[in-house]
Structure 1
Amino acid sequence: MIEFYPQIKSVHIHTALLSGGLFALRGLAVLASMRWPLAAPVRYLSYTIDTVLLTAAMMLLTILPGAMFANGWLTVKIGLVLAYIVLGILAFQRSRPRRTRLFCYLGALLAFAQIYFIARAHHPLGVFYLLG
């Protein structure tokens, strides 16, 4: 399966960017009190993109050697993905105060940015490693 690594990695990268972009767009619209981001077709598109992203991630995890993850960058990235998911869910809950949703939305965007930089650097410090 290693022969498909470039294609799987490409799918993973592109769906990650699609997922983050759609989240950012939907979050802005929800904060502006628009209804379309919570409509079924948009939610299902988001679910589909995230399912493809997770599938590609699991495929990469199974085909890459374990030594590649020895410095802990993947563990930090997975922890931030969980934080991103929780913050994203809280940002879309209309029952929460607007200020809380805004902070959750901004926190999710920061988590996404750090996930991106960790993936680029293959280092747990992500953006801070790239700046140093």
Structure 2
Amino acid sequence: MLTFYPQIKAVHILCVLLSGGLFVLRGLMAQTRLAGVAQSMPLRLLSYGIDTALLTAALMLLSILPGALFANGWLTVKMILLLAYIALAMLAMKRARAPRARMAFYVAALATYVWMLGVARVHHPLGWLHGWLA
């Protein structure tokens, strides 16, 4: 399966960008009067499809890569950030009742997403801050 690593990684990265872009779009809709459209079945199904492909590619990459990858902690931090992102996104999209709370959770989810991108890009738990703080 190592021969397919570049293709699987490309699919994973594409799905990360599609998932993030769709979240930005749906999150903006949820903050406005288009909240019903943001929760519509076609957009939710598209989100589920992208996220399923993303998770499948991630699990395939995880099965290919050596276990020593967990040694420096960046992948562990990325997984923890993923759980935080999911929780924050759920609160931003529908769980939080007050509009200000939904907006705060939306901004926090976006910040978590950007941090996750940084961790994945530089392979360090600090992500984009690695060069500045380390």
Structure 1 residues 103, 6: closer, same or farther in 2, change over 3 A?
A: same
State the TM-score, normalized to the length of structure 2.
0.95
State the TM-score, normalized to the length of structure 1.
0.96
Of 47-56 and 27-36, deviating more is: 27-36
Structure 1 residues 130, 25: closer, same or farther in 2, change over 3 A?
A: farther
Which whole-Å CA distance do the structure 2 matches of 1:48 and 1:125 have between them? 30
Are 2:69 and 2:75, in contact at CA under 8 Å, matched by a contact in 1? no
| Structure 2: runs of 5 or more not aligned | none
Structure 1 residues 44, 130: closer, same or farther in 2, change over 3 A?
A: farther
Structure 1 residues 55, 93: closer, same or farther in 2, change over 3 A?
A: same
Aligned to 1:74: 75
Which whole-Å CA distance do the structure 2 matches of 1:79 and 1:129 have between them? 18
In the TM superposition, what is the alpha-carbon distance from 1:127 to its structure 2 partner? Answer: 1.1
Asked if 1:12 is matched to 2:6, the reply is no
Structure 1 residues 60, 102: closer, same or farther in 2, change over 3 A?
A: same
3-state SS, counterpart of residue 123 of structure 1: coil
| Structure 1: runs of 5 or more not aligned | none
Aligned to 2:59: 58
Q: Please, what is the CA RMSD of the aligned residues?
A: 1.1
- Percentage of pairs with the same residue: 55
